[in-house]
Amino acid sequence: MRRILRLSWRLAAVTAFLLSGPVVAATRPTLTDQEVEQKVTALMARMTLQEKVGQLTQVGAFPGMDPEGTIRKGGAGSVLWLNEPEKFNALQRVAVEETRLKIPVLFALDVIHGYRTIFPVPLAMAASWDPAGYERAQAVAAREARAAGIHWTFAPMIDVARDARWGRIVEGAGEDPYLGAAMAAAQVRGLQGPYPGAPGRLIACAKHFAAYGAADGGRDYDPVYVSEGQLRNVFLPPFHAAVKAGVGSFMSAYMDLNDVPATANRFLLRDVLRGEWAFPGFVVSDAFGVANLVTQGFAADGPEAARRALEAGLGVDMASNTYGRHLAAEVESGRLPLSLVDEAVRPILAAKLRMGLFDAPFTDTSKLAEVLEAPAHREEAREAARRSLVLLRNEDRTLPLGKDLGSIAVVGPLADSRMDTEGSWMVFGHRPAAVTVLEGIRGRAGAGVKVTHAPGPEIRREIPSMFEEFIPELKKPAQPPEEAEAAFRQAVATARDAEVVVMVLGETAHMSGESASRASLDLPGRQQELLEEVVALGKPVVLVLLNGRPLGIEWAAEHVPAILEAWQPGTEGGHAVADALFGDVNPGGKLPVTFPRKAAHAPLYYARNLSHQPEGSERYRSRYWDGPTTPLYPFGYGLSYTTFAYSGLAVTPSAIAAGQAATVSVDVENTGAVAGDEVVQLYVHQRSGSDSRPRRELKGFRRVTLRPGEKKRIDLPLGPDELRYWSTARGAWVQEPAAFDVWVGGDSTAATRARLTVAR
């Protein structure tokens, strides 16, 4: 691992190896579908059973694994956890020169929110409510990663997540299937371009199929129990959207779904994915997922695990080598038909052919440094970070900061941390190079402003993260208590000496992500205590949050005059935050996830069903008798330095027949003094039907920029796609005659209402 890291630091110095000609932009593969099929058939006719199993085996470049030896034997079709451009070409040479059939390998890596230029974490990108921006961001990520020799990324992660305790909530688009589907499709378009693995692009992978975000108790990897209605209405729509956008691959999830492991879940992989959605690509397990089938108490041993996963429709075994060890024997003994192996191998060979890897298997890295250092990529990352900022509170116009400030104290453990600014899920071997919030403020404040800094006591996980276990550089001894105490006092003193205090608090990069669930949503460590002492000084305080999940900031929401949610904003994060603090940019993002008051309220989401004592009734508020039931901040919420007014809501026509579409129109006006962005959101509620339906569901949105005084009419379609749902009672998709409430506004509590009737 350390070697991997060391070598990849040298990325920029790598000048290698030129084989293919210049990259030609292509909108479709050079081979037609028919030619691809013919070539696959011809190749398969020459393959031994072991060679076929090799294509279904993904080998890791981890200590104890031997990618080179495995490839040489024809035992691997793809490689993961390697990030060394020169090594890619060397391994590819083994594949195409030393193996019998010369089949190239695919290099796969988790390029989640950037390769060298790191974009805001996915939850932040969703807060932009800007699919076109997300598409551009992932196109940059693809361009950089492909230039380094990567073919396949394990992104987008499109698990709907409604439980703020779950660490992986940071990797997805939040709680809503409609927003999630829009962001999933945008990411697939950005990563893949015109087709999976087009020049300068990657093969994308929709993960983790499916419902991984609904883990019991928000505990990562724990089982999931959801009804078919919830599965189809809530958790599957982003995956279906990814298929419609042409995603090349899928990854199965780790956990049991209704007692059947997702890795060997025939209903998910065969009935839904291949059957209903006609997905033509391939499915990879999550890491070690096939071997896990034994741990899960599903398969008795490795041979059974291999057989049942393949039977269920799982194509590639990631890293566990269970297929490599057992599949051939299962076929030879007659327990598994060869046709199932063939069926799994075909889409993998087809993908390699479409990418042109048989003709041009190597990566020309001579221009790599140029691609990775492209100023346009930094500019895109800065714009993405700006658009993901959510202004949660701004009493007395604390923000933007005044022009005549003499001094600013920037306080908190995250204020000057590159890694925590870039955030969760960094590419293997990447060295964080983010502009921190402190640097951003220093750069923008101007020579006349004194900017001081104190980090306060460090924050750390009680149990080390998965990444700390793998990457020794991340392991640091804990700060001794007396040092922490001195840091605390220093932080308060620094705040006392300044006119304005910017507190940069939240979670470190590895406090969210995989294996990073929490039982509390409080600010970890002594941050809350520090915040309270600093606020008690009586100065204007701005809280900038860097975090990968909703935090329980109930106290801050009442006592800190300004709160800016900056998430983990990536390489250009510090610049973007400074842009907003000084008013060069007006924050316009909106929460893609409900902020509960505390962990005990999770899962909390807006699209829940009504019940006895519905909301609005006095008693609703007492779902818990020991505190309010309402969210701290609702889904879709976010303020601006300006204000917006809605008027003229109309649904045209206001009555339609099932199958027809109506248009929802509204005027939105900037009623303040500065330009700003509003995210116009459309929610519906079906008043009666075969099943009870959620009190509100997002069914349309548009982010618009308005000058002061400017008014725009926004039209949003409302048709069969938006009005249908999977009925658990009827076991089918239905669009029913019913009355619908329609709301449009700036968050999920929008009050402007109209009515749509769907007639029989």
Residues at the contact surface with ligand BGC, assessed by CB under 6 A? 110, 154, 207, 286-287, 514
CB of 207 to ligand BGC, least distance (A): 6
Least distance to ligand BGC from the beta carbon of 284, Å? 9
CA distances from 364 to 15, 117, 624 (A): 8, 20, 61
Closest among 338, 352, 355, 400 to 580, alpha carbons compared: 400
Q: Are 514 and 536 in contact (CB under 8 A)?
A: no
Q: How far is CA 528 from CA 457, 645, 663, in A?
A: 11, 36, 47
Tell me how far apart the alpha carbons of residues 377 and 137 are, in angstroms, rounded to a whole number. 8
Tokens of 348: 């993998």
Query: At 156, is the secondary structure helix, strand, or coil?
Result: coil
Active site residue 317: no
On whether the CB atoms of residues 634 and 606 are closer than 8 A, the answer is yes
Listed in sequence order, the residues at least 6 apart from 362 whose beta carbon sits closer than 8 Å to its beta carbon are 17, 19, 20, 89, 92, 93
β-pairing, 644-652 vs 738-745, is unpaired
Phi, psi (rounded to 5 degrees) for 534:
-70, -40
β-strands 500-506, 541-546: how paired? Answer: parallel
Note the maximum CA span of the chain. Answer: 81
Residue number with CB closer to ligand BGC (170 or 680) = 170
Select 515 or 528, whichever has its Cβ closest to ligand BGC. 515
Comparison of 82 and 390: residue with beta carbon closer to ligand BGC: 82
CA distance 67 to 61: 6
Three-state SS for 436?
A: coil
Q: Which is nearer to ligand BGC, 422 or 514 (CB)?
A: 514
User: Residue 171 or 747: which CB sits closer to ligand BGC?
Assistant: 171
Q: How far is the CB of 336 from ligand BGC (least distance, A)?
A: 26
**Nearest distance, CB of residue 261 and ligand BGC, angstroms:** 14
Say how far apart CA 662 and CA 652 lie, in whole Å. 5
Q: Which is nearer to ligand BGC, 168 or 240 (CB)?
A: 168
Nearer to ligand BGC, 199 or 223 (CB): 223
Give the C-alpha distances (Å, rounded to integers) separating 455 from 98, 215, 521.
Answer: 55, 35, 21
537 Cα distance to chain centroid:
38
**753 phi/psi in degrees, rounded to 5:** -125, 145
Nearer to ligand BGC by C-beta: 119 or 250? 250
Q: CB pairs under 8 A, 24+ apart, for 40-48?
A: 40/346, 40/349, 40/350, 40/353, 43/101, 43/103, 43/349, 44/342, 44/345, 44/346, 44/349, 46/101, 47/101, 47/345
Choice among 286, 317, 416, 691 that is catalytic = 286
Smallest separation (angstroms) from ligand BGC to the CB of 468: 15
Structure tokens at 415: 């204020």
Work out how close the CB of 700 gets to ligand BGC at its nearest, in angstroms, rounded to a whole number.
Answer: 30
Name the minimum Å distance from CB 429 to ligand BGC.
13
Residue whose beta carbon is closest to ligand BGC: 154
In 490-603 the beta strands, taken as DSSP E runs, fall at 500-506, 541-546, 562-565
Nearer to ligand BGC, 154 or 298 (CB): 154
Type of residue at 341: V
- At closest approach, how far in Å is the CB of 179 from ligand BGC? 21
Least CB distance to ligand BGC at residue 422 (A): 17
* Catalytic residue positions, numbered: 286
